[in-house]
Structure 1
Amino acid sequence: MKKLLNLVLGVVGCATLYLLLWPVPVSPVAWDAPTAPGYQGPHAVNDRLSGLKMINLHGEVGPEHIQFGRDSKLYTTVASGNILRMEADGSAQQVFANTGGRVLGFDFDAEGNLIAADAFKGLLSIAPDAKVTVLTDTVNGDPIRYADAVVVAQNGKMYFSDASTRFAPKDWGGTFEASLLDIVEQSSTGRILEYDPATKATRLVATGLSFANGVALSQDEQSLFVNETGKYRVWKIAVSAHQLDVRTLDTHTQGTTQARVLLDNLPGYPDNLMRGLDGKIWLGFAKPRNATIDNLSAMPWLRSLTLRLPRVLWPIPKAYGHVIAFTEDGKVVADLQDPSGSYPETTAITETKDRLYVQSLHAHGLGWLPK
């Protein structure tokens, strides 16, 4: 009995030392998560996103970004690194290009080049003949580690997010794993960059964002809308801002003329932003809020301990389909939900006159709804 007791105490002791001392890749920072608003008001529970029609992607997974090119073809990026091209109904599917990385967001420039934010490679230009050119992969000598979303202005300048300067997907097992580490840590190293093809210069617009994600331009192209995924909010940042650290702003007084929080304390993790019709902007939530995660916001050592647990015990939020549309002054004008989460990680909407295409990080097909 004494030997058994010693064995049990030894096992418990080793487990305790492991949970307290085993090294983890994050150095969590305490922050004050706001009380989750729940699904009420403009976000009252509904099933308007249920029953999606599906376009078969023939084994490809994760249509993270969807957009129509100047050739009227539908383009989407998938987890394999392929960029797919097809007709609006999903027919005539083909692989347009493969960057050897993972393109998350993209846009088209005036010449019809596909401008891609590749999480592994940086900011790329892919010509109509599929030739890939690296536009930029550093800023001020610092590597761009997690290019995420990009939008091209009419003057040719390209604005894109570098989601994290701490965790590069190529070093940490992929985009989802790197994003999880960054959001657990909350060191807020995400940034917004500008690339000017005329001068080939890359400029730091703003930094201090907890996982800088989706980016969209205002109609007058004087402002950027930026999703700060890790803190459940959307910023409006002047394109003229230069090396602005948003952590220095008092968000309770709505920031400054250079930057302010437009949508705060959202019910989920905001992901992509897409301009829709009639002036609205579509936003998707990759996951809903999780009470355990919010409760651990002020306890960084417990967040470290969580990463030492088997992954099955991590407080990963449940699947829940959710997209919204808002106006440039921050008014929510559409809210579509699928509480079943049957179409996972709904990252945004691509809107045409007759369809809503639903972007997703991990779906095995391309979902859409008739308007």
Structure 2
Amino acid sequence: MRPLRTARDCRGVRFLWRTGERMRLRLTLILIGCLAAFTLLWSMWPSPISPAYWDEPAAPEMTGALEPDGALADAVAIDVGLPGSGEGIAVSDTGTIYYGTADGRVMRLMPNADNETETALEVAQVTETLILGLDWIAPDVLGVAAISGLYALDVETGHYTLVSSGAPAHPFGYVNDLAAAPDGRIFFTDSSTRWGHDSDRDRYRHDMLENRPSGALYVWDPATHQTRLVRSRLHYPNGIELAPDGRSVLVAETFRYRIVRIWIDGPEAGSKDIFAENLPGLPDGLATDSRGRLLVTMPSPRVPLLGFLHRHPRITQLLMKVPEWLRPGAVPARAFILVLDTETGEALDSWHDPDGRLGYLSNTVEAPDGDLWIGTTDRGHLVRFSPDRPDTAGDTGAPVSLDD
């Protein structure tokens, strides 16, 4: 039989209980102190970016010309290599497709005898860095915009030269795209002098979150063989296209969702005005089609989280200090091509990828047969699309692989 508990036993139990309570309280206070110290140190630790405040306007409603129509479901994807291959793309007068690769090569896409498959042939290893833009600067000569600089490539001989790696007092950071004027001048964008080519490729996200004007527009003049700064303090200038008037260029400022016009001749040379703003997505490549319309390649629609971060720079700083695996990931691709009037900037049409099958689209060029060839940033494939003949654009199956 268990003996009755004495008063001494009860006092002992109470003592042990109180001791345990004190220990738990002490541990709790220690944990709270450690957490407070860690939070203080973490908040004081410098952020890798210095974001600017921007009261981002609400995105336009996706109605009318912006209505997602799923037209790009009829596009055909052609594998060309690692992600980043095919981001820069050009087409010759004879319909030959050229594209850049992630490791700095320019490739020629040749149709096979059956006209249903293609073979890729190397034209030249121009650089060792990612090629972002291609454009014709002379017959059989491609201008090549790579992270390392601006090049000229003779596609017949494979001979290439470094045209420009910087301007006096203005070293390049991230050469992105180019457009050639009839007089031989080459205009090209440098997306970010702050997060340049010596950084990791994904550092463009830093520029996206900072939202500061650290990009620039340059021109290379064949008369002097010199590179000159045309306009600084641009917000991530990306795609570029010569305007129909020949006196200005249109430049996509990706993370401000707009296209600006920069005058290149006349008394207004160097000045800037807005051509189209508050676009429904992030504008990348710009191209004019045979009907005189401006084709704006949108790798993604607007992202609500990005708008929130633009309005709260302090939160953005704190977010960039957490481990990368804890940060929000990339949004699913829902790319589309926006068609604008080159005179007014008004939206005329849009062609959408309904299920993200094509990935993040980058640049668009029109072939002589009217088909559009579109580059991608993340899938390593080219896309062929017939905007006016969707019934003949191809099936919607898996990407077509190149023959070795």
Give TM class, smaller chain.
0.7 to 0.9
Aligned partner of 2:104 in structure 1 is 81
Identity across aligned pairs (percent)?
Answer: 25
Aligned partner of 1:331 in structure 2 is 346
Output the amino acid matched with 2:56: A
Aligned partner of 2:378 in structure 1 is 362
Output the amino acid matched with 2:372: L
Contact 2:135/2:144 (8 A) holds in 1: yes
Greater gyration radius = 2
CA distance in 2, matches of 1:14, 1:270: 43
* Structure 2 runs not aligned, ≥5 long: 1-23, 390-404
Written as runs of structure 1 = structure 2, the 5 A alignment for 1:198-347 is 198-240=223-265, 258-312=271-325, 313-314=327-328, 316-329=330-343, 330-347=345-362
Aligned partner of 1:349 in structure 2 is 364
Aligned partner of 1:189 in structure 2 is 214
Distance 1:367 1:197, change over 3 A: same
Per-residue CA deviations over 1:10-55 (Å, capped at 9, x if unaligned) read: 5533552354133332111112211111422321122111242122
CA distance in 2, matches of 1:229, 1:218: 18
Contact 2:260/2:275 (8 A) holds in 1: yes
Moved more, 269-278 or 84-93: 84-93
- Following TM superposition, by how much is the alpha carbon of 1:277 offset from its aligned partner in structure 2, in angstroms? 1.4
CA distance in 1, matches of 2:47, 2:268: 30
For the aligned residues, what is the CA RMSD? 2.3
Per-residue CA deviations over 1:219-250 (Å, capped at 9, x if unaligned) read: 232110110111000011211279988xxxxx
TM-score, normalization by structure 2: 0.81
TM-score, normalization by structure 1: 0.88
SS at 2:358 equivalent: coil
Distance 1:140 1:58, change over 3 A: closer
Contact 1:285/1:346 (8 A) holds in 2: yes
Output the amino acid matched with 2:300: K
Output the amino acid matched with 1:96: V
Quick check: 1:122 aligned with 2:149?
Answer: yes
Contact 2:192/2:236 (8 A) holds in 1: yes
Aligned partner of 2:160 in structure 1 is 132
Output the amino acid matched with 1:302: I
Contact 1:289/1:317 (8 A) holds in 2: no
- Following TM superposition, by how much is the alpha carbon of 1:344 offset from its aligned partner in structure 2, in angstroms? 1.2
Aligned partner of 2:396 in structure 1 is none
CA distance in 2, matches of 1:293, 1:340: 22
Contact 1:114/1:127 (8 A) holds in 2: yes
Moved more, 331-340 or 233-242: 233-242
Contact 1:206/1:242 (8 A) holds in 2: no
Moved more, 105-114 or 145-154: 105-114
Written as runs of structure 1 = structure 2, the 5 A alignment for 1:136-151 is 136-151=164-179
* Greater RCO structure (CA 8 Å; 6+ sep): 2
Output the amino acid matched with 2:350: D
Count of residues in correspondence between the two structures: 355
Output the amino acid matched with 1:209: L
* Structure 1 runs not aligned, ≥5 long: 246-257
Moved more, 77-86 or 1-10: 1-10
Moved over 6 A (4+): 241-245
